[in-house]
Amino acid sequence: MRNAERGAAFLIALGALALVAALAAAALSLSTGPATRAAAAVEQAKAARAAEAAIHRLAAAMATDALRSAAPLDGTVISTEFFGAKIDFAVQDVGGLIDMNAASGAVLARLLVLTGASGGDATEIAEIWTRARADLEGRAGFLTPESVLTVLPERLQPIAHPALAHATVWSGRAAVDPWLATAPALAAAADLPLATAQGFVARRALEGRGAEPPPDADIDGLAVSDGRVARLTVRAETEGGGRAALSATIRVSDSLRAPVAILAWR
């Protein structure tokens, strides 16, 4: 099934995503400042409530096998509208991301180059990361993707930051799942040119697992994700200009008491 069709099926299943943003925002007082500022605050509150409600609803949906299997787990962006807020959301299985605690230094360096770093900076950053993750007390690795920036000199932090869009610390695998990976993650893990990986990702979106792998990629040597950990991202925008963005990484389990665990929220 094509990603667009899977996305539509997922949206139908999530019909209860009718957000309460407008009602929540209406409770805000308009007497705290000029009318234009008050209106802007209301729109911002609408967007924030819409994004938060969407994240919670997505997390609940991911705990259901049928809905999780209907969702595109490769980061495909799906758009819809509720109560005057446009919602763009995506679900990215972390098996399609580079694990900062498990990937080799060479893979980390390739990911950095693919996301804009120079070769020299990429090598320096990758060496710092591999040393730091082994030296961290209490756990041999980073706790969040963002924590990898804290071990870098200040000048290298903005250079490394773009790589985090394709990184995780929760897959536990040195390889990525090629059927779920972002193009930079796949290119870094399989040592492919970015254009080759992008071409495969485009074919994959249309053909699913029937897409022919890149000829130079060792697909059989890559990982297969169990679909239990995913990064959810939501962007909300209201007609009045309010904007909000949220991201959460969740782990789902078969536990009836706690079917969803929030690993990160920002």
In 3D, which of 23, 30, 11 has the Cα closest to residue 84?
Answer: 23
Do 113 and 57 belong together in one domain? no
Distance of CA 224 to the CA centre of its chain: 18
Do 184 and 132 belong together in one domain? yes
Do 102 and 217 belong together in one domain? yes
Q: Count of domains in the chain?
A: 2
Query: Residue type at 109?
Result: A
Do 47 and 106 belong together in one domain? no
Do 52 and 73 belong together in one domain? yes
Q: Please give the helix or strand (H or E) that residue 183 lies within, else none.
A: helix 183-190
Do 162 and 176 belong together in one domain? yes
Do 180 and 196 belong together in one domain? yes
Please tell me the distance from the alpha carbon of residue 61 to that of residue 169, in angstroms, as a whole number.
23
Structural domain containing residue 86:
3-93+229-265
Q: Please give the helix or strand (H or E) that residue 118 lies within, else none.
A: none
pLDDT in tens, 17-47: 444 444 344 444 444 556 677 777 888 888 8
pLDDT in tens, 135-188: 875 566 899 999 999 999 999 999 999 999 999 999 988 889 998 999 999 999
pLDDT in tens, 211-261: 887 777 666 567 677 778 999 999 999 988 889 999 999 998 887 788 889
Do 112 and 147 belong together in one domain? yes
pLDDT in tens, 89-136: 999 999 999 999 999 999 999 999 999 999 999 999 999 999 998 887
